[in-house]
Amino acid sequence: MTSSLLDHTLLSAHDPKTGRYDASRLASTLEITNKEMAAVVGYTPTGLSKNPASPRLQPKLRELVGPLNRLRELLDGRMELVRIWLKAPHPYLEAATPLSYLEAGKLDTVETLVHLMETGQPG
């Protein structure tokens, strides 16, 4: 019962002590580097390492986890498929990867792709 109450989030992305999102834990969940995660959230790798659950990071991490969690739901709850989707060249992105768009600060584009998939459109 408890796990279904928390289906709206990625548990592995949280710091169990504070309950806040933790950028390092999310990077680990996505199997991306600290440097890649720092680019996604607009931090330096050093700053991210020092305080990965910083209150200042929470809004950006919430924005990121939302579409990732919805993507996970679309992919039968399988994080390995989320990781593949993020790292695979995508035809709607001119063969770039969704991760590269996240690193470039284009979360809205990735959000749009997830929305297209949710509504049954090619994406």
pLDDT (tens digit per residue) in 23-73: 999 999 999 999 999 999 999 999 999 999 999 999 999 999 999 999 999
Q: What is the pTM of this model?
A: 0.90
Q: Are 68 and 85 in contact (CB under 8 A)?
A: no
What's residue 26's pLDDT?
97
What is the per-residue pLDDT across 61-70, written as a single tens digit (0 to 9) for each?
999 999 999 9
CA neighbours within 13 Å on the CB side: how many for 107?
Answer: 16
In the chain, what are the domain boundaries? 2-118
Return the closest-CA partner of residue 47 out of 35, 58, 59: 35
